[in-house]
Each structure stands twice: as structure tokens, then as C-alpha cells.
Chain A
Amino acid sequence: MKNGKIGSALAAATYSLLGTLPAPPAVAEESGRWDLDTALMYYSEGDDRVQDVSLGILAKRSFDDDRVLNLDLTVDTLTGASPSGATALGAAQTFTRPSGKGTYTTPAGAIPLDDSFLDTRVALGVGWTQPLARLYTLSAGLGFSTEYDYTHLGANLSLARDFNQRNTTVSAGLAYSMDDIDPVGGAPLPLSAMADVGDLSNRRGTDSKDVLDLLLGVTQVINRTTIVRLNYSYSDASGYLTDPYKILSLVDPLTGDTLGRSPAPGTEGPSGVYLFESRPDTRAKHALFGEVKKFLGGKVLDVSYRFMTDDWGIDSHTVEGKLRWPIGDSMFIEPQLRYYTQTAADFYQVSLLSGEPLPLYASADSRLSDMDAITVGVKFGWTTPSSNEWSARLAYYSQTGNVDGSQLIGSQNDFKQYPDMDAVIVQFGYRFRL
């Protein structure tokens, strides 16, 4: 016992002389075992919009010398309807499904929602982290995901260096992804008109996009109870960045009504003129992210802010706060709050005007419009006597669009044109060791 105490004291003295920090005891003891972090999430939007069930498993194995292997698997199943981009109209509207097989109809006065979506996504990732020389840490990873119309392959590499008795860590990382898009029915020619059922003459085959991400970060220990992080990130996407399923209504510039059309005799098809959207084939984003984490006598406050700007004209601000409040020794409750606001993309417009030259780029995708979102949630956690952790989270996510009157013409003012959205997120988590 006495020797043990001397040993500990010597070890502490050695560490302090070397300016290094021993790994937290919990980790050191469990070296060579698997830590599993699992989650089951149910995401449900109101009005029969998107429903998603997601299962995630994150497995971490620690080896000697601070080497860590990370494996992750996520399976998503998505169903439900999404706003197509077409405007609400005083009459029922019929659209051809993205597959070109069959139609769907939206009632008068309603925002058109395309209910064709049904997808399962499987994502796999593997990562490796290890020290490289005394103060450096190297991380590398590979990711792969596949869904019905999309395949992603990505790789990333990061290097971190500790300074100032490991109170400061500076890191730089690079990620590259190559994605293939194989839209249902083929990728439509930008700004071509939605055609009758069975007519795929305006569809091309598959397409692709590449994304390069750069991340520079600093974390700084301020004092015994406070740590901060500041990141700058740059993302450069090129290739097919259009959403192949989004459309715009071509409208009369005076009445605001969608131009009508009739399907060819003997076929079904759209009841109006709808053009497939068109986005630029490059996008550069810059983001600044700051986070402060503070221990307040047992409670932990985590506040973060992100500013993002891109060359599509979108600026966004995100503020997020979480307060983890312990209940006794083994439980906690954590209220969570997030606010998000973005400006519209330069090429966002509610509809296209008939008789005017078509712009090069146009999208009525509500996700590219001026909007605000708020998430209010609460998480509850319980640590078992064997140090496993159960958690449950319930959150409410709400989006509100800001389509100002100047963007609406004539009859478009008679109906709600922005698809505000409310969603509920239910998540269960279990962390354990094997």
C-alpha cells in the first residue's frame, strides 16, 4: 500500500516534469476493451412529411500507447413526403412522380408535397488515432455510405499538436469525398419541364460530386473548469449539386397562377408547367465555430456558436446551449436549446415567371430560403452501477420560413407558400463496455 502511494507520487511527479498527462484512469484500466455507444432515433415531421428511424452503433477500441480504433455503423430508414418546390394554387395540381411512372395530386390550396420518398441508407466508417512523436496525434478515417440513389466514399486525415503543457491543442485536417448520384428516373436536365408519365426524354443518367473539406482548430484549457474550442472550416463542393427531385412552378407574371397544360392524349401527366431546378456546380463554404464548456459545481454548461457563409449568398448563424444538471450521483437531466437562422441563396425564388428569360440558376427548395429554426430538447441520463449509461432524449424542432410579400405575385398571396415544419425527435442511447 505504502509502495503504491510512493509509486503514484513518483508517477505524478514524472508526469508533471515531463509536462504530460496520464490518460484518465477509467480509460487506462479499460485499455484493450470495446466501448460501445449505441442510439436509436425516431424523427417525425408533422403533416405526414418525413419519418426517419435511425440506428447507430459506434464502437471504440483502445490499445496500448493511446492508439484507438473507431468503427461506426448507421442504418436509416426514411419515408414520407417532402415539399417539391411548386407553389400552392387555387386548384388541385397533378405531378409526374420522379420515376416517370405514375402521378400524384395535391389538393387546391395546399403546398405540393412529393410522397414518393422511401429510402434506406447504410453508412460505415472506420477511424484510427495514434500518437505520432511525443506531442503529435494523427487520425485517419474512411467512410462509405449507400442508399437507393446515392453512394458516398470519403477519406479524412488530421494532425494535432499539443503545446503549453497540453493546455493548447492545434489541429489541421483534410477530408475528401467522392459521391455518385443516380436519381430515380435519371437526373433531369436543369430547367427542363416535367414531362408526362413514361416520357424520360429530358433525363440524363447518373452524375457525381466531389467535396474537399479543410478544418483548422484550436482547443484551449482556460482554467481548471473551463475549456474552449475555435474551428475554421472550408468546404469546396463541385459537380452535381442540384436536387434532382425539386421543381419550380412557371407562373403568369400578373396573376401568379401556374401555367396550365394538358397531358398528351391517352397519357397521364402534370396539370401545369413545372421546371426542374438548377443550381451552380460549385459551392465554397466558410465556417467559424466556437464552443465553451464550463463546469459549474457539478453542472456542465456547453455553449457554441457557428457562423457560416458561402458563395451561393447564404449566411447562417447557429447558437446552441446545453446544461447538464446532475440528479444525485448517477443521473442527470440536460435541457438543450438551439437557434438557427439563414439568409436565402441568391438564386432562391418562389416561382419562375412566364415570358421572361429563364435565369441560369433557380431553386424553390425551402432549405435554400430565408428561414429560422429552433430546437428545444431535454435529455435524461442514468449511469448503472457497472458504469454503463442509458439516455433518452426528446426534442422539438421547428422551422419557420420568411418569404416576404415582394416575392409573391397575385393569387400566390392567397395561400401559405412556405412549408413551415415541425418535427419531434425521440432518441434512446446506451453506452456500455465489452
Chain B
Amino acid sequence: MKRPALIALLLSITMSPGCASLGVSPWERDVLAKSEMLLDGSPQEAALDDHIYFSKEASSGGRSFGGGGCGCN
């Protein structure tokens, strides 16, 4: 993509009215309130996964605190 076109695209994205009003009104939260839309909706599964990957890889955390509390690494 040529540079002017790229700048125009970026400008149109950043200046579009949609970005100025990110979010929803309180009465539009029906979908977001569903349990499957919660960001931490499966804490048990996330904790078990973190425990496995913490002990098998050199990285941990990111989603929440770095984990640890385990002599496995």
C-alpha cells in the first residue's frame, strides 16, 4: 500500500466516530453479561493450564500474575 493511502486509512480509522464512542450503554449489556462472555469465565481451567505451561515452558503469566509457587521450574 502506498504511503498516502496508508495515512488516509489510519486517519479514517482513528478519526471515525466509532472510536470516539467505544463501548455500550448500560442497557446494551445483555450479551456481555452472559457467563460465556466473561474474560475470566473459566478460572479453574485457566489455573490448571497455567500450572502445566509454567512447569513445561520458560514463560508464564500475562493473563494474570506470573504464577509460580511451584518447585516445578
Residues of A within 8 A of B (CB): 12, 15-16, 19-21, 24, 26, 37-39, 41, 43, 54, 56, 58, 72, 74, 76, 78, 119, 121, 123, 143, 145, 147, 149-150, 152, 154, 156, 164-168, 173, 175, 177, 179, 181, 211, 213, 215, 219-225, 227, 229, 231, 233, 235, 243, 285, 287-289, 291, 293, 295, 300, 304, 306, 308, 310, 312, 314, 316, 318, 324, 332, 340, 342, 345, 367-368, 373, 379, 393, 397, 399, 421, 425, 427, 429
Contacts and interface: CB of A to CB of B under 8 A. Distances in A.
B66 A164 contact: no
Given A26-B35, A143-B69, A427-B45, 16 more contacts: A12-B27, A39-B45, A54-B51, A56-B47, A156-B65, A167-B22, A167-B23, A221-B23, A225-B31, A285-B66, A288-B62, A318-B59, A340-B59, A367-B56, A367-B58, A368-B58
22 contacts: A16-B25, A21-B26, A39-B44, A39-B48, A41-B48, A58-B47, A149-B71, A154-B68, A173-B65, A213-B61, A221-B22, A222-B22, A224-B32, A233-B65, A285-B66, A287-B59, A287-B66, A288-B62, A293-B37, A318-B62, A345-B58, A367-B73
A310 B72 CA distance: 19
A5 to B, nearest CB: 15
A154 B26 CA distance: 37
Chain B's interface: helix, strand, loop or mixed, by majority?
Answer: loop
Contact of B68 (A26, A76, A173, A177): A177
Given A16-B27, A340-B57, A429-B45, A289 B63 contact: yes
Contacts of A168: 22-23
Contacts of B71: 119, 147, 149-150, 179, 181
Contacts of B47: 56, 58, 72, 74
B2 to A, nearest CB: 29
A385 B38 CA distance: 21
B65 A316 contact: no
Contact of A308 (B31, B35, B59): B59
Contacts of B62: 231, 233, 287-289, 306, 308, 318
Given A179-B68, A179-B69, A235-B66, A37 B44 contact: yes
B27 A219 contact: no
A287 B23 contact: no
B48 A152 contact: no
A260 B73 CA distance: 29
